């Protein structure tokens, strides 16, 4: 079985599967090839499970045309601006601006200057998921981390946020 080895000053060995399904082994500088190969072989079942998950995600991905993306960006700006303003009033917070991006790996972000960005991809989510994302980013105005206080603040406005997060994690947009 083929795999890529990344060596560094570390004492442990780790196995990951990248988004293409390729095996990546992280090992110490002096870890033998024989030990690494044995480690990979012992984890074949886990590797195959991970590859199956990646294949399933790939099948479920939603692909959009340029025209659909342009329309979603316009819709996202209107919808997410209104939603953010609604929750900003409820939470008594003031974001410094709202932008729509083409981010692929995150639904939203909040800068250190309290400017909020949303990926246009939020528009594929159900309204309750978009509400969670708006509240999540607004909560970063107060807490610039993902601490317990941060999630307590979210829970105050979205009590079932944990179920919503699980639902959001089922969406995969190309």
**Per-domain boundaries in the chain:** 4-60, 66-168
Whether 105 and 116 have beta carbons less than 8 Å apart is answered as no
Q: Which strand (E) or helix (H) includes residue 136?
A: helix 127-142
Q: What is the pLDDT of residue 84?
A: 98
* Largest Cα–Cα separation, the chain: 61
Q: Please state which of the ranges 46-50, 144-148, 169-173 shows the lowest mean pLDDT.
A: 169-173
Identify the DSSP state of 61: -
Q: Residue 136 pLDDT more than 90?
A: yes
Task: Quote the strand ranges of 9-155, DSSP E.
Answer: 14-17, 23-28, 97-101, 108-110, 115-119
Q: Which CATH homologous superfamily contains domain 66-168?
A: Metalloproteases ("zincins"), catalytic domain (3.30.2010.10)
- pTM of the predicted structure, to 2 decimals: 0.72
């Amino acid at each position: 079985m083929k795999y890529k080895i990344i060596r560094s000053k570390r004492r442990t060995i780790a196995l990951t599967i990248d988004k293409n399904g390729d095996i990546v082994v992280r090992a110490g500088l002096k870890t033998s090839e024989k030990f690494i190969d044995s480690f990979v072989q012992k984890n074949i079942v886990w590797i195959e499970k991970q590859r199956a998950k990646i294949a399933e995600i790939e099948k479920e991905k939603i692909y959009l045309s340029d025209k659909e993306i342009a329309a979603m960006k316009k819709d996202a700006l209107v919808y997410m601006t209104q939603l953010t303003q609604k929750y900003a009033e409820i939470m008594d917070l003031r974001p410094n601006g709202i932008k729509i991006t083409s981010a692929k790996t995150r639904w939203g972000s909040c800068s250190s200057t309290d400017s909020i960005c949303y990926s246009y991809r939020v528009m594929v989510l159900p309204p309750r998921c978009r509400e969670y994302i708006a509240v999540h980013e607004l909560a970063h105005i107060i807490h610039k981390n993902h601490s317990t206080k941060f999630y307590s603040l979210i829970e105050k406005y979205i009590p079932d946020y944990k179920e919503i997060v699980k639902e959001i994690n089922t969406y995969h947009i190309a």
